Amino acid sequence: MVALAEPAAKQRIASIDILRGMVMLIMALDHVRDFFHQGHAVPTDLAITTPILFFTRWITHFCAPIFVFLSGISAFLAGTRRTKKELSAFLIKRGLWLIAVEWVLITFAIKLDPSFHLIIFQVIWAIGGSMVLLGLLVWLPLPVIGIVGAVIFFGHNLFDLVKISAVNDTLAGRLLLSARHGDYWPLTQNRGLVTSYALLPWTGVMIIGYVFGVWYKKSVDAVKRKKTLLYSGLGLLGLFLVFRYFNIYGDPAPWSAQKNTTLSIISFFNVTKYPCSLLYLCMTLGVAMVVLSVTEKVSNKFADVLIIYGNVPFFYYLCHWYLIKLLNIIVFVASGYCSCLIVSTHPRVARFQPDDFGFNLAGVYVVWLCVIAALYLPCRWYGKYKKTHHYWWLSYL
């Protein structure tokens, strides 16, 4: 999600920007669906889902892991032009800034509640918190950092085998290990937190990305890098297929044969994102590594469009939330809803979201295309602005 700013102008890595741009566009589909899909059917509920609804959700599963993984690579590349002390301070400051943005700007964009009765811990919190932890780890030798990342990445699902209520039933435990989608933690009678992203598993992803950043040093042979990424990606996908098929380890929700082949396939790929399971990460990052491997020399108009978005991911991310919410309000007013329905009776439901609000899935796709098209020119302008200006605040956006 966050392309880390460098102390001087840097050469962009096209394959990273292509992949980042691709998942930025896909990510917006999930958020548009959250706001505009009438009835808000749960795509992963096998009792009610359809193939197109499940796929609409499943394809967006790739976004968060790739954001965090690429942020780790960016962190390593940022360190090639800094001392350890400078890199540590850089990551900690950026991480704290991102957490503040999550709590203030993004929470407000989603809820439109100036009193902030609800604070949201989503993917930007996970990236920011992971940067802070990585900023503390960069003092260690790279092999040690890699071991720490591998232990977290491959071992965090061991906590599924040993249910520790003393951990899971605390706020710290949820934030670190066990947060599930939409988990609500009350602070007072009318204020609380939504803890959707558990920090520790995502930190493992960022550390793995940081270690893979070694392969993007200028001294590394491109052919060797491509082979390493390809074989690593295929290895993760192979691990996913074997472990998932036999329900060995790596996901707390095993798949099972259903009443028809379509639902059985859906069950197989219906891996756990909250908190992110090993098999979820193998499935998504395996594909990401393969894509990075095969797109190093890609040059066409579509890739150029993706690079426009991939150059300015954080700018795009902030803008897309406010644009989606603006469209939400416009559709709400145009649909003739009573102003009494602006605020829901459910405190965790965003404003301007009546129970029957929205469109069918085809309408969701239309809104999504409008959102990403509307952001193309602003992203192109801001990308050019960042290349020609070097104000300190640009590194924060």
Residue 325: inside a domain: yes
Residue 136: inside a domain: yes
What pLDDT, in 10s, does the model give residues 121-177? 999 999 999 999 999 999 999 999 999 999 999 999 988 776 665 566 788 888 888
β-strand partners of 323 = none
Supply the pLDDT for residue 10: 56
Q: At 344, which amino acid appears?
A: S
Say what percent of the chain tops pLDDT 70.
95
What pLDDT, in 10s, does the model give residues 171-198? 888 888 877 887 888 888 888 898 889 9
pLDDT at 108 over 60: yes
Residue 233: inside a domain: yes
Radius of gyration of the chain (CA): 21
Task: Work out the burial of residue 337: count CB atoms within 10 Å of its CB; fewer than 13 is exposed, 13-18 middle, 19 or more buried.
Answer: middle
Supply the pLDDT for residue 350: 83
Query: Which residue has tokens 């209520």?
Result: 165
pLDDT at 36 over 60: yes
Average pLDDT, the chain: 91
Lowest mean pLDDT among 95-104, 160-169, 224-233, 374-383: 160-169
Look at strands 118-121 and 184-186 and give their pairing. Answer: unpaired
Supply the pLDDT for residue 170: 82
Which domain, by its residues, includes 309?
14-396
Residue 178: inside a domain: yes
Supply the pLDDT for residue 8: 46
Residue 230: inside a domain: yes
pLDDT class of 321 with cuts at 50, 70, 90: very high
Nearest to 177 by CA among 192, 162, 193: 162
Supply the pLDDT for residue 5: 46
Supply the pLDDT for residue 273: 93
- 368 or 166: which leads in pLDDT: 368
- 11 or 278: which leads in pLDDT: 278
* Structural domains in the chain (count): 1
Residue 306: inside a domain: yes
Q: Beta-carbon neighbour count of residue 99 at 10 Å?
A: 19
Supply the pLDDT for residue 229: 97
Q: How far apart are CA 354 and CA 339, in angstroms?
A: 11
Separation in Å, CA 151 to CA 39, 235, 248: 41, 17, 18
Residue 32: inside a domain: yes
Helix (H, G, I), strand (E, B) or coil at 330: helix
**Reported pTM:** 0.93
Where helices occur in 213-335 by DSSP H, the ranges are 222-245, 261-269, 278-294, 301-311, 313-334
pLDDT at 7 over 50: no
Q: How many CA atoms does the CB half-sphere of 65 hold within 13 Å?
A: 28
The arithmetic mean of pLDDT across residues 32-49, rounded, is 90
Residue 3: inside a domain: no
Supply the pLDDT for residue 175: 86
